[in-house]
Structure 1
């Protein structure tokens, strides 16, 4: 992005912020969320920096998947090696992609080979809404929550209402897409079933700058997914729920210029299954027992590489109301990780487990809101970690609050980092095991929310120690290089969000000003910009809805030495919808409308202008 474009974006946000008005949908003035504390809370009472993405926003998304949606709403930065089926990384507040906890209906999803969830394997069509928690949360979620938490909720049935949802569409790049869901229930049972599929001829995923694998061809993809959610309200006090999701993505990519005739494919399979029992034992006492399992499978063909991760969790959490506005929470949790990878030294399989106990205290009295959390995790490989978080908010005027928090976090080394020839060889003199990466965060913010009006500003500073990097050889069996605890990072910045409704036009904006640096070198961390954000406008005229979004990012560097610059960019995305009748609508999306060529990773292309036209039929049966 040029300096002129950056100034224009800042000016637009400043003008918008001065209006201080909200972009919340009317039907979700104050939704109930659970991610901030693992307990239901009204969004207006949440102290942490939390963003909610609704089903309406999901349905208006044109090109791409979950990662594109999160970027377009200004919640994260994204990098990708080509098409939506390619390796995708998300950065919350400048933290690595492995520093984000990802949950699907409460089930943790993670890769113990690359670290972090495989974003390209999470299907967008199955999702009802998403909650994004920015900032460390290990005192609530344990390992991985150094940068934040993203919790994805699939569709849920509503008792007494059978709802059918059918969508079909096509676009340029040879893209075809279809999805179907049915949901409903009676007084005791509810259900939701969804299926979806997509195929595309794609675009060339590499550029001539990629001297190793550039091939002038088109790299397409195909995917299919399904989800199931069954609930049983046994009585007024007890509810049992089963959730299941499965996704398969098969994407073409360019492996090497030495094999130009090879049809290279990467295959990503994601599964998440959970079972929960919620019980209200007393008016003040409730518990939830949850069992979950997720599986991540990744392989490449014809150059065979296969890796599988399985994460199992069992948790029992309870809450007790001491008095009006005072609540204590208790959590006992066990996590078991398994990695099956041919690169592992010990029989290709690595295992470990963590046991955790956490306590929380929530106080809400008058204008004061205080939350405190403490947690102990004991890992079978590297020992114990204590984490804690203290948060407070004070409403000194109607709808206007100042909030602050301090806490620490950690990320355990992956089984791949520990168990391959690149991990520490403890038989060598002086070589130590890898330590967990640890973060220490402080932040302060201002929130305003009255009626249609909303504005937030959060300043944060997160020091992350013992960052694991791939460094020089000498401490492991490989002569190519070794994983080491050597780096320190300082993630600091200011996040702004605002919106307004001028007449019939909704306006919204986000802006992040950040300095994610390696403290040893003073250099900016790879592929992270100092400035990024969004501008959005939408309106409804009779049966028409029109919207537009600008997503912008400043310059980044592809390498740790800050020598390979990646130019800034601004993308214009347009959408229009026409309600043919109450339950039938036509939608048009034009993403990257100006056909801006840009790259988020050197040598890899991003999507050109894409056009998509779809029909959606939503009758109530």
Structure 2
């Protein structure tokens, strides 16, 4: 049941009049080409750098949990493992792209977001719903597309907070004729707190260093891009499995890109290498896991007319486990893919279609497709519908890790439907979406990975953003129903109700905001210390002050009423905590 305070909040938010003009965001990744968000037939949220900073989130998982259709499960605090679930999908059902490149560990089968610093992020685009027809395996529940910092000038940030939190970062940019250089570097650390009082009586903190260097060079043959990212760190954790309680992490990404317009055809190519290393260790053991992914992408786009756009391309990547604590039966696989899509618009009618074929060493061919239609029945109202398929190949751990692996696993596959309605006018943006997804061969398991015959996921998303003079309000609500059809039980760690609200007031030199986040009871699974965790509501406060033209001070207080709660059974979360940061941008 909803708490009365949230009912009042919803009513108050809906009745406020709105007059300010919205700024239209651009979607880059939903259809692999730049399009105005209002012309994309998918549920997407775009956060630019100023949006990310304004939300004052402690880390990337906390930021994502404020968005529609997303819930978060934490095994502790900042730095510890965090599960991000989009529309009821597993953590591994979300593809994470960084600067257009597929990322994540081949052994885990997904990208860990807990140690990805917000300070390194320029832009986030979250696409809710399947996108495998565009991107292949992993994009079963959605895509999180991250663009790293592209500072236009010198920028320096520093922060401190509860539990010994401290960090600093600097971004630089320099342009000379056809060449532009950009770099970002920073460090961050925290003492943390004891996340499992029944295990080690110690604080579980983290340390982190990150660096990015990028160059863009414009030539007569097109724009060339080169980029290198390095993110290293250490985090401490508590677990009932084994004696290991610390982990060293190192992620490195190297990218070369090219794009050029020849006539009416835009050509883009990208080659990249991602290296992911994590070594867990303790007093009695040490477990290294090193994986590598080499990838090549090429696509071409053309507008055949003002009504029809075509896009086609190829994708190749090789995943390899270069070192692991156990010996894997296989340590490498290659994926080859072809894809093509079309977008058509005639007056108020919009149509989209895309088809992709992946050929994976271990499984042969996988075909995915997606169809969507939208109709703008007034200048402010759009209705749309879509249906699509998706799949996810099992990870190396699921296939080959001793004691857990199941070499007979089949790829997870899904069929998804969505109906949505959107209203946008004069500062008021309202979106409502119904979605339904059936997943066959869903991979579950504690002692051994196994395919669940069928799982069903359906839900409703509602979001409302409005501006009235200097007041701004954002509300996101998600209802979710999940079921393992084999057992009749809910899927683990998916709350039925989540609601996030943020209200703010902005003046010329200062601003303040209030946040409230609600999550209902969650089923934790048959093997969890507690089968069901109670729901909770968290409140936050914050503000900004423009000290001068160059300095901005930001303050945030999370969990104002010191609520004791858990989002993962057995793991403590932070009580009342604060953060203070200062930004320096010389004029």
Counterparts of 1:111 and 1:421, CA distance in 2:
18
What does residue 16 of structure 1 align with?
Answer: 13
Summarize deviations over 1:419-471 as a string: whole Å, max 9, x none.
Answer: 23347777xxxxxx321100100010001122312000010001000012237
SS of the counterpart of 1:166?
strand
Count of aligned pairs between the two proteins: 583
Counterparts of 1:338 and 1:444, CA distance in 2:
39
Summarize deviations over 1:559-605 as a string: whole Å, max 9, x none.
Answer: 15896111111111211111011121111111112111111111111
TM-score of the superposition, structure 1-length normalised?
0.90
Question: 1:257 Cα shift?
Answer: 11
What does residue 297 of structure 1 align with?
Answer: 277
SS of the counterpart of 1:143?
coil
Greater shift, 591-600 or 94-103, is seen at: 591-600
Q: In the TM superposition, what are the counterparts of 1:77-156 in structure 2 within 5 Å?
A: 77-156=71-150
**Alpha carbons of structure 1 residues 452 and 258: separation in structure 2 relative to 1, 3 Å:** closer
Give yes or no for contact 1:493–1:515 (8 Å, CA) kept in 2. yes
Q: Of residues 222, 229, 245 in structure 1, which corresponds to 2:229?
A: 245
Counterparts of 1:586 and 1:468, CA distance in 2:
46
**Alpha carbons of structure 1 residues 389 and 599: separation in structure 2 relative to 1, 3 Å:** same
Q: Are positions 1:437 and 2:427 aligned together?
A: no
TM-score of the superposition, structure 2-length normalised?
0.95
Counterparts of 1:331 and 1:14, CA distance in 2:
47
Q: Are positions 1:327 and 2:309 aligned together?
A: yes
Q: In the TM superposition, what are the counterparts of 1:362-373 in structure 2 within 5 Å?
A: 362-373=343-354
SS of the counterpart of 1:550?
strand
Give yes or no for contact 1:88–1:119 (8 Å, CA) kept in 2. yes
Q: Of residues 270, 288, 304 in structure 2, which corresponds to 1:306?
A: 288
**Alpha carbons of structure 1 residues 30 and 4: separation in structure 2 relative to 1, 3 Å:** closer
Q: In the TM superposition, what are the counterparts of 1:8-407 in structure 2 within 5 Å?
A: 8-17=5-14, 19=16, 29-62=23-56, 64-158=58-152, 163-208=153-198, 214-235=199-220, 238-255=222-239, 264-282=245-263, 284-302=264-282, 303-339=285-321, 340-346=323-329, 350-407=331-388
Greater shift, 13-22 or 397-406, is seen at: 13-22
SS of the counterpart of 2:110?
coil
What does residue 544 of structure 2 align with?
Answer: 577
Give yes or no for contact 1:98–1:144 (8 Å, CA) kept in 2. yes
Question: 1:273 Cα shift?
Answer: 2.2
What does residue 607 of structure 1 align with?
Answer: 574
Give yes or no for contact 1:157–1:185 (8 Å, CA) kept in 2. no
SS of the counterpart of 1:151?
strand
**Alpha carbons of structure 1 residues 257 and 355: separation in structure 2 relative to 1, 3 Å:** closer
**Alpha carbons of structure 1 residues 404 and 63: separation in structure 2 relative to 1, 3 Å:** closer
Gaps of 5+ in 1: 209-213, 427-432, 472-480
Question: 1:619 Cα shift?
Answer: 1.5
Q: Are positions 1:452 and 2:427 aligned together?
A: yes
Counterparts of 2:58 and 2:326, CA distance in 1:
32
**Alpha carbons of structure 1 residues 21 and 73: separation in structure 2 relative to 1, 3 Å:** farther
Greater shift, 266-275 or 328-337, is seen at: 266-275
**Alpha carbons of structure 1 residues 4 and 490: separation in structure 2 relative to 1, 3 Å:** closer
**Alpha carbons of structure 1 residues 186 and 539: separation in structure 2 relative to 1, 3 Å:** farther
Question: 1:357 Cα shift?
Answer: 0.4
**Alpha carbons of structure 1 residues 308 and 10: separation in structure 2 relative to 1, 3 Å:** farther
Greater shift, 128-137 or 576-585, is seen at: 576-585
Counterparts of 1:536 and 1:408, CA distance in 2:
34
Counterparts of 2:216 and 2:425, CA distance in 1:
35
Give yes or no for contact 2:97–2:144 (8 Å, CA) kept in 1. yes
Give yes or no for contact 1:554–1:568 (8 Å, CA) kept in 2. yes
Q: Which has the higher contact order (CA 8 A, sep 6+)?
A: 1
Question: 1:215 Cα shift?
Answer: 2.9
Question: 1:14 Cα shift?
Answer: 4.5
Question: 1:129 Cα shift?
Answer: 0.9
What does residue 474 of structure 1 align with?
Answer: none
Counterparts of 1:182 and 1:425, CA distance in 2:
48
Counterparts of 1:148 and 1:180, CA distance in 2:
32
Q: Are positions 1:488 and 2:468 aligned together?
A: no
Gaps of 5+ in 2: none
Question: 1:486 Cα shift?
Answer: 2.8
**Alpha carbons of structure 1 residues 528 and 20: separation in structure 2 relative to 1, 3 Å:** farther
Question: 1:406 Cα shift?
Answer: 0.2
Question: 1:207 Cα shift?
Answer: 3.6
Greater shift, 537-546 or 386-395, is seen at: 537-546
Counterparts of 1:184 and 1:176, CA distance in 2:
28
**Alpha carbons of structure 1 residues 520 and 435: separation in structure 2 relative to 1, 3 Å:** same
Question: 1:45 Cα shift?
Answer: 1.0
Counterparts of 2:261 and 2:526, CA distance in 1:
52
Question: 1:19 Cα shift?
Answer: 5.0
Q: Of residues 515, 519, 526 in structure 2, which corresponds to 1:553?
A: 519
Question: 1:487 Cα shift?
Answer: 3.9
What RMSD over aligned residues (CA atoms) do the two structures have, in Å? Answer: 2.2
Counterparts of 1:323 and 1:51, CA distance in 2:
28
SS of the counterpart of 1:121?
coil
Question: 1:390 Cα shift?
Answer: 0.3
Counterparts of 1:594 and 1:518, CA distance in 2:
36
Q: In the TM superposition, what are the counterparts of 1:398-547 in structure 2 within 5 Å?
A: 398-422=379-403, 433-470=408-445, 481-547=447-513
Counterparts of 1:22 and 1:116, CA distance in 2:
42
